[in-house]
Amino acid sequence: MPALYPVLLWAVLALLLLAASRRAAALLNARPLRAAGDAAVRLSRRAYWPLLAAVFALALFLRLYGFSDIPANYHTDGILSAVDGYALARFGTDHYGTSYPAMMEAWGYGQQSAMMAYLMSLSTRFFGLTRVGVRLPTMLVSLAGLAVFYDFARRLCGRSYALLALFLLAVSPWHIQQSRQALDAYMLCHFLLFSMDLLVLGLRRRPALYLSMVFFALSMYCYGVAAYVVPPLLICCCAYLLARRFVRVRDAFVCALIFFVVSLPVVLTLCINAFGWETVQLGPITCQRFEESTRSSDILFFTQEPFMDRLFANLLCALRVTFWQSAQALGTDARFGAVYPFSAPLLAAGLLLLWRHRRTADLTRASGSLEPRAGFLLLCWTLCAFASCVITNSVTSWRANAIYYPLVLLAAYAVYWVCRRVRAFIPAFAAVYLAALCVFFPAYVAQQRTAVDSQDSPAGQYEALAYVRDLPFEHLYFDAGAPEGADYYIYDAPTVRLLYVFGLSPAQFNEEAPILSCEGEDIGLYGDVFELWPPEYGTDYLPDPEENAAYVIPAANLEQFDPEAFHIEVFNTYAAVYPQAMMPSTQEGQP
Q: Write the pLDDT tens digit of every residue in 404-413.
A: 999 999 999 9
Q: What is the pLDDT of residue 555?
A: 86
Mapped onto helix, strand or coil, the DSSP state of residue 6 is helix
Contact at 8 Å (CB) between 564 and 580? Answer: yes
φ, ψ of residue 571 in degrees (nearest 5) = -125, 100
So where are the chain's domains?
4-72+113-447, 459-582
Q: How many separate helices (H) and strands (E) can be counted in the chain?
A: 22, 7
Alpha helices in 220-343 (DSSP H): 230-243, 249-275, 307-321
User: For the segment 379-410, what is each residue's pLDDT rounded down to a tens digit?
Assistant: 999 999 999 999 988 888 888 899 999 999 99
User: For the segment 333-346, what is each residue's pLDDT rounded down to a tens digit?
Assistant: 667 888 899 999 99
The stretch 126-147 carries a mean pLDDT of 93
Q: What is the pLDDT of residue 42?
A: 81
Q: What is the pLDDT of residue 364?
A: 45
Minimum mean pLDDT range among 36-50, 111-125, 233-247: 36-50
- Strand pairing report for 549-554 and 574-579: antiparallel
Contact at 8 Å (CB) between 190 and 198? Answer: no
Mapped onto helix, strand or coil, the DSSP state of residue 585 is coil
Q: State the average pLDDT for the chain.
A: 87
Cα separation, 573 vs 74, in Å, equals 16
Q: Cα–chain-centroid distance for residue 307?
A: 29
Alpha helices in 482-554 (DSSP H): 493-502, 506-509, 526-529
Q: What is the pLDDT of residue 331?
A: 52
Q: What is the pLDDT of residue 478?
A: 84
User: For the segment 177-208, what is each residue's pLDDT rounded down to a tens digit?
Assistant: 999 988 888 999 999 999 999 999 999 999 99
Q: Dihedral angle at the C-alpha atoms of 345, 170, 130, 182, nearest 10 degrees?
A: 30
The stretch 357-370 carries a mean pLDDT of 57
Q: What is the pLDDT of residue 482?
A: 59
What pLDDT band is residue 1 in, cutting at 50, 70 and 90?
Answer: low
Mapped onto helix, strand or coil, the DSSP state of residue 477 is strand
Q: What is the pLDDT of residue 188?
A: 95
What pLDDT band is residue 366 in, cutting at 50, 70 and 90?
Answer: very low
Question: Identity (one letter) of the amino acid at 107?
Answer: W
